[in-house]
A = this chain, B = another copy of it.
Amino acid sequence: MTEVKTEIKKPTPTRSTPVKEVSHWDIETDVVIVGFGGAGSCAAIEAANAGAEVHLFEVSSAAGGSTALSGGEVYLGGSGGTAMQKKFGFEDTTENLVNYLMMQHAPQADEEKIRRFAEGAAGHFDWLVEMGVPFKESYYEERVVEPTTDDCLFWCGNEKTWPEIEKCKPVPRGHVVQMEGMGAGALLMQVLEKAAVARGVNVHFDSRALSLIVDEHEQVVGLMVRKDGKVLACKARGGVVLCAGGFVMNEKMVKQYAPRLNAANNPIGNPGDTGTGIQMGMSVGGAAINMHEGFSSVPYYPPASLTYSIIVNGKGQRFVNEDAYHGRIGTRLLEQYREQNNERIYMIADVDAYGNYEEGSWLNADVVATGETIEELEQELGLPADSLSHTMNFYNQHAEAGEDPLFHKQSQWLRPLQAPYVALDMTPGRGVYIPFFTLGGLDTLPSGEVKKLDGSIVPGLYAAGRTACGIPRRGDGYNSGISIADATFSGRQAGVAASQRARSVAYAAQGCVVGCSQGGD
């Protein structure tokens, strides 16, 4: 226990490198960005737009990050409506968007951040268009996880779901990048990469960020990075912007910080989402918050017809309005699983609701029972008499009247289910597809400045995208595209702030106002 290492330690994300251990700078620049996904590209563009010299380090061989793996949906609204929303007659006030996001993420919502986003989101749409991101002028009305067409505006959250529908005016806010088929995130990233490169951003691929460099005033002054087998010290006059994704690919961290997500089976994100950005922030005192939360989904629609079905736990009880966004249902499902001793969870449909499930759905849930009557199904599932059948009879009786007095599923999706019935096994661990990713990260100001636990900031350090704890904070309050919107928007804020800081530092150095701030050089 008493052994003490005397050598200079190898740079590693969990330990910052004191500037005195840096013998010389291999690169000197205004702004250093870690990660070339949605957040990193937008941070780079804005920093370059502001006149900063930018070096960007990406661990993989290409730009993209997790944004490129996404559907290319961007959740936007407010300011009366984005250009796209307005085109289709949807008015969306900033307050409406604020109220909706606050409702989704309370009590851990960050109101300041939500407000800044809501005020700027419509303008952010215009900015993306300006960058060259293509959006088709079209509106897609069906209930889908992600359109397979090249359409743009669609419903991708809980806007039309109780209780949101009672408190916020429902408007569609999903803005999908124009591309036939799914996965338009790749196209989004191609455009953003091009925009960054066109602005002279110095991009380094295959370059692993190793550790932050701090001076004796606890300012972040640079980054240690490994490129082509060499360790480089990179000085960042303005600051380092961490845009290195979340930690969903770090199994140990997920287990330690977000135990609920352990029952989900498909981490989504790029292989670099190992939490090193968060770790680097923590190594200089940044507070990591909301680490237990994550998005999880059971993407069962299409076919939208399955929304007519009911979802029940191993006691035959419903526990969620089935017309909610798939991320809310996925969250409730993991909660039930955890709280009800890993009992089974079923989706009970009739023939019409089942529809073209076998071709159309990603759900991958097995049919585990069928019944000519609900009692037969109940028996086949091993449920006590009058458990599931009561639930079904109660549901049907009220659905007939267009009502769901218990869970407030909206009348659009209410009709009595009719024999014969089918049960799909939605129990985690039995094959059902449950994608997930993390929603915890570094606490930041809306500007991207990283906060310590005591509320003070770490000078010279910024975080954006899933390395930060941003707008989306609850799995059951998640909407498709809110993470891409948050990443690109927060990346821009951080890029602006870091470039401003570079200017201030340069100005101060000339006038010797700050004096010691460059002492480590």
The one of B12, B285, B390 that contacts A390, using a Cβ cutoff of 8 Å: B390
Closest CB-CB distance, A89 to chain B, in whole Å? 30
Q: B1, B259, B285, B317: which contacts A500 (Cβ < 8 A)?
A: B1
Which residues on B sit within 8 Å (CB–CB) of A15? 218, 285
**Contact across chains for B256 and A289 when beta carbons are under 8 A apart:** yes
Q: How many copies does the complex hold?
A: 2
- CB <8 Å contact, B108 and A508: no
* Interface residue? A514 (CB, 8 A): yes
Q: Is the CB of A459 within 8 A of B257?
A: no
User: Which residue of B12, B287, B290 contacts A454 across the interface (Cβ within 8 Å)?
Assistant: B12
A264 to chain B, nearest CB (A): 12
Instruction: Report the nearest B residue to A384, measured CB to CB.
Output: B405
CA distance A405 to B500 in the complex (A): 65
A1-B459, A2-B459, A12-B454 provided; 18 other pairs, C-beta below 8 A? A2-B508, A4-B217, A4-B515, A4-B516, A6-B516, A14-B285, A14-B454, A107-B255, A108-B255, A108-B256, A253-B453, A256-B290, A319-B339, A332-B339, A339-B476, A387-B405, A390-B390, A390-B394
Q: Which residues of B contact A115 (CB under 8 A)?
A: none
- CB-CB under 8 A for A3 and B514, given A315-B407, A453-B279: yes
Known contacts A291-B291, A332-B339, A406-B384; A459/B4 CB under 8 A: yes
* A185-222 vs B, Cβ < 8 Å mask (1 yes, 0 no): 00000000000000000000000000000000111000
A163 interface residue per 8 A CB criterion: yes
Question: B14–A452 contact, CB under 8 A?
Answer: yes
A386: nearest chain-B partner, CB-CB: B394
Q: Which residues of B contact A508 (CB under 8 A)?
A: 2
How many A residues, CB 8 Å from partner?
65
Q: Which residues of chain B have C-beta atoms less than 8 A from A335's C-beta? A: 335, 339
**Which chain B positions have C-beta within 8 A of A384?**
398, 405-406
Q: Within A488-521, which residues are at the interface with B (CB < 8 Å)?
A: 497, 500-501, 504-505, 508, 514-517
Residues from 258 to 309 in A contacting B, C-beta threshold 8 Å: 259, 262, 279, 282-283, 285, 287, 289-293
B339 & A6 in contact (Cβ 8 Å cutoff):
no
Cα distance, A504 to B282, chains bound together (Å): 31
- Find out whether the CB atom of A5 lies under 8 angstroms from the CB atom of B317: no
- Does residue A412 face the partner (Cβ distance < 8 Å to B)? no
Min CB distance, A98 to chain B, in Å? 19
User: Does A23 count as interface, using CB distance less than 8 angstroms?
Assistant: no
In the complex, chain A residues 320-335 whose Cβ is within 8 Å of any chain B Cβ:
332, 335
In the complex, what distance in Å separates the CA atom of A386 from the CA atom of B406?
11
Measured CB to CB, the nearest residue on chain B to A497 is B1
A4 to B12, CA, bound (A): 26
- Nearest B residue to A443 via CB reads B256
- Does A341 sit at the interface, judged by CB under 8 A? yes
**Known contacts A315-B406, A459-B1; is-contact A108 B514 (Cβ 8 Å):** no
**With a CB–CB cut-off of 8 A, which chain B residues contact A459?**
1-2, 4
Check B289–A257 contact: CB distance below 8 A. yes
CA distance A377 to B67 in the complex (A): 53
CA distance A209 to B343 in the complex (A): 47
Closest 7 CB pairs between A and B? A292-B292, A2-B504, A384-B405, A315-B406, A108-B259, A14-B454, A4-B517
Give A218 to B9 CA distance when docked, in angstroms. Answer: 11
Question: Which chain B residues border A405 with CB–CB below 8 Å?
Answer: 384, 387
| Interfacial chain B residues near A386, Cβ < 8 Å | 394
What residue in chain B is nearest A217 (Cβ atoms)?
Answer: B4
Contacting residues, chain B, for A293 (C-beta < 8 A) = 292
Chain B hits for A217, CB < 8 A = 4-6
User: How many angstroms between the C-alpha atoms of A255 and B109 in the bound complex?
Assistant: 10
CA distance A265 to B154 in the complex (A): 41
Residues of B within 8 A of A453 (CB): 14, 253, 279, 282
Give bound CA distance, A315 to B253, whole Å. Answer: 37
**Contact partners of A285 in chain B: CB under 8 A:** 14-15, 282-283
**A443→B282 CA distance, assembly (Å):** 15
- When distances are taken between beta carbons in the complex, the residues of chain B under 8 Å from A339 are 319, 332, 335, 476
Contact (A107, B390) CB under 8 Å given A2-B504, A4-B459: no
Find the residue from A2, A12, A283, A335 having the highest chain B CB count within 10 A. A2
- Write 11 A-B pairs (CB below 8 A) sorted by A numbering: A1-B459, A2-B504, A5-B217, A256-B443, A279-B453, A279-B454, A291-B292, A319-B339, A384-B405, A386-B394, A390-B394
For A516, the chain B residues whose CB sits under 8 A away are 4, 6
The listed residue (B279, B287, B387) touching A394 by CB distance below 8 A is: B387
Bound complex: CA of A332 vs CA of B317, how far in Å?
Answer: 16
CB-nearest residue of chain B relative to A473?
B259
CB distance from A305 to the nearest CB of B (A): 25
Q: What CA separation (Å) do A384 and B407 show in the bound complex?
A: 12
Over the window 395-420 of chain A, the binary record of Cβ atoms lying under 8 Å from chain B Cβ atoms (1 yes, 0 no) is 00010000001110000000000000
